[in-house]
Amino acid sequence: MAETAQRIKAHITGRVQGVGFRHFTTTTARRLGVTGWVRNEPDGSVRLVAEGPADDLQALVEAVHEGPPAARVDDVTSSRGAAEDAFSQFEVRHH
């Protein structure tokens, strides 16, 4: 990865399960060229970890603030750090 790569971790709450949120996130992340994963959490939220250039990660965070049409995003909490080059693609993970 480029030396400007970063990692974001995000926790998304609201009506974000059963509305195509993981598919929306995966499609958006792949279009942006970032790697990582998204998964549903037992509490009804969605967790996201992604790595890539800062601008692409910012675009992904902005996209998940909106979500797909059927979603209602109440809150997105995110943090940034150094990329660990841990992923080869973006995927949906399951518990």
Q: Which amino acids are annotated catalytic?
A: 22, 40
CA atoms within 13 A on the CB side of 48: 33
Contacting residues for 11 by C-beta, under 8 A, at least 6 apart? 41, 45, 46, 47, 48, 76, 77, 78
Number of H helices, E strands in the chain: 2, 5
